[in-house]
Structure 1
Amino acid sequence: MEYLKRENVYIFLSNDGVIQVLPSFFSQASFNTYQIFTYARIKITGGYEPYKRKIKTRDESRRTIEEMMPRLLRFLKWAENVADYHWEIGGVRDTYGLHNHHLSPSEILNDYINDYLISEQKVSEAEAKAHITTLNAYFAYLEIGELIEDGFKDLYIRPELLEEARNNTNKKTGVKYLTNGVRDALYEVALTEFGLRDEIILRCGGEIGVRSCELRGFVLDDFAEGKSTFKGLKSLFDDLEATDDVETPYFKFRLHGRYSKAKPNEGGESRWLDIPYNLLERMKDYYEGERPSQGIESKFLFLNESNNLGVTNISARKGTDVFRVVAKKLNKIKSKGILYQNTQEITDQTFHILRHSFGTDLFWSLSDGNPERIVSTSKEFMHVAERMGHRINNMRKAGKTTIKYIRSAQVKQALELAEVA
């Protein structure tokens, strides 16, 4: 089971390549309207009617909807893997799987949430609730489209598993930093096992601090923002040819706010990225060599290519997906006891830790190796906040997010010394 993204729709495919129509329709409808359907109890005099509910719409950001798609995919994968598994509910024995997942009763969905996600996969309470929201939106859509008769599902975290779900959150690593050694290993594995594009994607997190969703903001042509015009990557490629890494170690690239993190129904904030000479050189090599050139006219650097959908733009989760598969491959190589033995362990980290590591290195260098002396009103602190795209309030104090880099800077040296030992 997988999905492929094309324009504003995720196409869900079973293992044998058959398009799954219902989830694909749900994806298209959600992205077309930026709305999802939810259930609300009907209020009556003296309280709420416990069994009568109505469906209402709720506006959501593009980012939120994109985050729902891999959660829906996870459920469909589970349904596909338990095909022909028999449940006995209320004395009635029946078979459920991918082919009739849309008819799954609440009991089966609660087994998925509690037994599979929480107990087996060790997801957190917050993530389990996000899966519940996704499933409720999906089944409400099926009902409103008259694809099923009644889509309401009574989904919840079982009381006896609530503490376990919270402990799953607590078991997440507190280390928000990857050493240069393990980052270099990730880049090398990405290049040798998966190709130049995936190496560049990881380096964009670890060397310039972009978020996964911001990988879609590397536009090729010059573009306008307000009354100003900024260089796209193709212009920077020309600049690259006219200089060297000594004269110009970094190139300024303007990341437009439409591609950066934003609150629902708001635009993000534009910011400057300092692209290292060697990274821009890799981008140029990818653009001129490995980047697909057939089947799509795209203004963006990074593209996907598949047998089913051809060439498409990458999704907001591409960085997350690349990090996951590369980290898994790195751990597999390490387990053989030959390469990368002294590098830091990668456990439950995601692509975002590359960005966090970049910010930590930046903070460390600005503090001259003494992060404790930095306060939230200092110019060093403000510089890190601006480079990372963190919001700064009216008192010119960087937000709480930036403060995390102080804590990470304090463990950075210990982690790097441990790799050398």
Structure 2
Amino acid sequence: MHRYSDKKINKHNIYLDSDSVPILLPCLFARYTEVAGKKIELIKRKNRNSDLIENVFEEVFIGADASYKICNHLGRFLEWVDKFEGEGNITLSIHTALPQELINDYINEYLITECQSSEAVANQAVNSLKAYYNWLQYFLDNKYKNIGIKSSHIPIARSNSKPSLSVKYLLPQTRELIYQSTSSLLEEIILRNGGELGCRSKENQGFLLKDFNESTQKYKGLLSLFKELKKQPHKEEFKYYLSSLYTKYSRSRFLYIPRYLLEKMEQYFRLERPLTDSNHLFVSNSTNLTRGRCISTKFGTDTFAKTRNKVIKEIQNNPEVYRSYQNIEFTNVYHHLRHSFGTDIFYNLCEGANKHYESITTTSAIYLTTANRLGHKVDGQFSNSVTKSYIHSCGLKEQLLKECSFG
């Protein structure tokens, strides 16, 4: 997919698919927005007859600068969708019917968390996608999409707006401090899965007990790996297949679980896990109706936030004890564990190959291996930005090691 601003003939943005065929609805929307100078807004208004507040769509006029930003951000969103063409339910051909959860993932997880976009940029993206999907509903009766920045991501976006960006790389010793501050073995393992396996919060649902099949292949479940622990006492790493059913954008991959982490998983299974018929290793131990059911997709996110706040309070109350530790901020999130894991993989591979991290390109074996371990697509147009984020974090890692006593 590509786009360009046609200032001579059509006088608006043109969005083309990979065969250079115009994508009709975005192009019509751009014409409406840039040439007519309008957008559709959802406005609250009091009904004169009932005195009740109603939500109604209205056409409003906008300036050239606003129309440019709307169409530019729509283009960025369509490029993001095109990046995952053919994977799961994400395709350009059905982008108008994408669930609002996925659209909000683009704003919150991709723009704010991964790209470290500022609050202003995130708000522009929200305004753009609201304008587009409101237009689709107003003229084509498309399903309404509730799009916006999540409350949990507002502090992150605001931190991104500051001259000094919050550091999303956490040193191994900092991660260890966080792991040790959890309230249960389940919470510890879930956070370690982020920092030591590179799992997203949702992907923790993909740890299955029984052996399973995917695409005619059979893969070992955790119960089989627990048996291997006893049969192979000298084996230090165990290979586990993370099914596409539980990964982002349906992109499966292998996880390489270190022995001590697999032992913690077995200990949790034997001693802490509630009795349940669930095939998921990690289940809720709550006293309500969710007990024994698979943990929620946000369990890792919520656990990290709770533990992070606890650690920050502990450091504030005992500054002398932790004076040599890396600074932990309220803007650090679960995803930073995964990013730290990826940075360590990238950094260690560079050292092993005796190459400086700034010399690595998107075609190098080091980058491809790192992308594979994290489940990243490597042939998309955003590959270079992902590489740059690791190069930047490698520099941060070296700087933090010098500043802290760990190095």
TM-score range, shorter chain: 0.5 to 0.7
**Correspondence list, 1:244-323, <5 A:** 244=233, 247-262=234-249, 268-294=250-276, 297-311=277-291, 312-323=293-304
Query: How far apart are the structure 1 equivalents of 2:300 and 2:310?
Result: 15
Please report how far the alpha carbon of residue 339 of structure 1 lies from its aligned counterpart in structure 2 after TM superposition. 4.3
Query: How far apart are the structure 2 equivalents of 1:152 and 1:216?
Result: 26
Counterpart check, 1:182 vs 2:171: no
Match of residue 161, structure 2, among 156, 165, 170:
170
The count of aligned residue pairs is 288
Is the partner of 2:213 in helix, strand or coil? Answer: strand
Please report how far the alpha carbon of residue 341 of structure 1 lies from its aligned counterpart in structure 2 after TM superposition. 3.5
Q: What residue is the counterpart of 1:380 in the other structure?
A: 366
Q: What residue is the counterpart of 1:81 in the other structure?
A: none
Say which structure is richer in strand. 1
CA displacement 1:25-67 (0-9 Å, x = unmatched): xxxxxxxxxxxxxxx9xx9xx998988649xxx7444853997
Q: 1:197 to 1:128 in 2, by over 3 A?
A: farther
Q: 1:333 to 1:278 in 2, by over 3 A?
A: same
Q: What residue is the counterpart of 1:230 in the other structure?
A: 219
CA displacement 1:54-83 (0-9 Å, x = unmatched): 9xxx74448539979x9xxxxxxxxxxxxx
Counterpart check, 1:406 vs 2:388: no
Query: How far apart are the structure 1 equivalents of 2:145 and 2:166?
Result: 38
Q: 1:340 to 1:289 in 2, by over 3 A?
A: farther
8 Å contact from structure 2 (residues 361, 387) kept in 1: no
Q: What residue is the counterpart of 1:343 in the other structure?
A: 325
Please report how far the alpha carbon of residue 186 of structure 1 lies from its aligned counterpart in structure 2 after TM superposition. 0.5
Query: How far apart are the structure 1 equivalents of 2:375 and 2:145?
Result: 40
Letter in 2 for 1:387: R
Q: What residue is the counterpart of 1:96 in the other structure?
A: none
Is the partner of 2:285 in helix, strand or coil? Answer: strand
Please report how far the alpha carbon of residue 302 of structure 1 lies from its aligned counterpart in structure 2 after TM superposition. 1.1
Counterpart check, 1:243 vs 2:224: no
Q: 1:392 to 1:127 in 2, by over 3 A?
A: closer
Q: What residue is the counterpart of 2:195 in the other structure?
A: 206
Letter in 2 for 1:331: I
CA displacement 1:179-213 (0-9 Å, x = unmatched): 111111001111xxx10001001100111111111
* Identical counterparts, % of pairs: 33
Is the partner of 1:253 in helix, strand or coil? Answer: strand
Q: 1:204 to 1:127 in 2, by over 3 A?
A: same
Normalising by structure 2, report the TM-score: 0.62
Please report how far the alpha carbon of residue 391 of structure 1 lies from its aligned counterpart in structure 2 after TM superposition. 0.2
Match of residue 221, structure 1, among 198, 210, 230:
210
Q: 1:53 to 1:374 in 2, by over 3 A?
A: closer
Query: How far apart are the structure 2 equivalents of 1:166 and 1:183?
Result: 23
Q: What residue is the counterpart of 1:417 in the other structure?
A: 402
Match of residue 325, structure 1, among 306, 323, 328:
306
Normalising by structure 1, report the TM-score: 0.60
Query: How far apart are the structure 2 equivalents of 1:255 and 1:182?
Result: 27
Q: 1:169 to 1:410 in 2, by over 3 A?
A: closer
Unaligned runs of 5+ in 1: 1-39, 71-122, 137-150, 157-163, 263-267
Is the partner of 2:362 in helix, strand or coil? Answer: coil
Query: How far apart are the structure 2 equivalents of 1:206 and 1:252?
Result: 17
Query: How far apart are the structure 2 equivalents of 1:131 and 1:302?
Result: 34
